[in-house]
């Protein structure tokens, strides 16, 4: 009989245990809240906080699982990862950082290597501009008119 209860507990344990990522997420959420915000959350979920310092308030918030209770009540308030690459201006890379990816192409262009450029006229102009000291971060993706205009600019 004891063995049966042990098996039941072992089966239920993973479903109730929090992962390390969930614990870290909760700690970060608590850390990012002001004392006033934490007090409002404590009031909202019905946990007492009277007479606690800011550090004690944060410790109790984690111990009591205040943020989890708050997120269960208001799921839209839970932190959501931002969409995009996380690097402003580099959304078009699409996370293609491996060999032969868009990031690698951009870095190669910045070093002045336009060997992947298929249009010989465009390659000639880009190499000429690079020789003049102009560096390109994805410059080879400019329209041909833009590249020709850049070629006409005197440095």
Residue 67 has pLDDT above 70, yes or no: yes
Mean pLDDT of the chain: 75
Burial of 88 (0-12, 13-18, 19+ CB in 10 A): exposed
- Which pLDDT does position 143 carry in this prediction? 72
- Which pLDDT does position 155 carry in this prediction? 52
Residue 121 has pLDDT above 80, yes or no: yes
When comparing pLDDT for 18 and 23, which is higher?
23
Determine which of 2-6, 22-26, 50-54, 91-95 has the lowest per-residue pLDDT on average: 91-95
Q: Are 139 and 122 in contact (CB under 8 A)?
A: no
Taking residues 22-38, report their average pLDDT.
Answer: 90
Instruction: Give the confidence band of 136 by pLDDT, cuts at 50, 70, 90.
Output: low
Taking residues 9-20, report their average pLDDT.
Answer: 59
Residue the block writes with tokens 């839209």: 76
Taking residues 66-73, report their average pLDDT.
Answer: 91
Q: Are 66 and 16 in contact (CB under 8 A)?
A: no
Q: Which tokens in the block code for residue 53?
A: 């310092």
DSSP 55-88: HHHHHHHHHHTHHHHHHHH-GGGS--PPSS-SST
User: What pTM, to 2 d.p., does this model score?
Assistant: 0.45
144 closest CA partner among 130, 123, 128: 123
Task: State whether residue 33 is helix, strand or coil.
Answer: coil
């Amino acid at each position: 009989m004891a063995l049966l209860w042990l098996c039941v507990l072992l089966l239920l344990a993973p479903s109730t245990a929090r992962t390390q990522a969930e614990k870290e997420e909760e700690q970060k959420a608590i850390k990012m809240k002001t004392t006033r915000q934490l007090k409002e959350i404590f009031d909202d979920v019905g946990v007492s906080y009277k007479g606690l310092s800011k550090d004690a308030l944060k410790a109790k918030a984690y111990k009591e699982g205040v943020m989890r209770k708050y997120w269960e009540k208001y799921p839209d308030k839970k932190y959501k990862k931002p969409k995009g690459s996380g690097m402003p201006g580099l959304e078009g890379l699409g996370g293609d950082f491996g060999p032969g990816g868009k990031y690698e192409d951009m870095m190669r262009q910045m070093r002045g290597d336009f060997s992947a450029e298929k249009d010989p006229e465009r390659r000639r102009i880009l190499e000429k501009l690079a020789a003049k000291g102009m560096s390109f971060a994805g410059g080879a993706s400019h329209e041909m008119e833009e590249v020709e205009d850049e070629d006409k600019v005197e440095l």
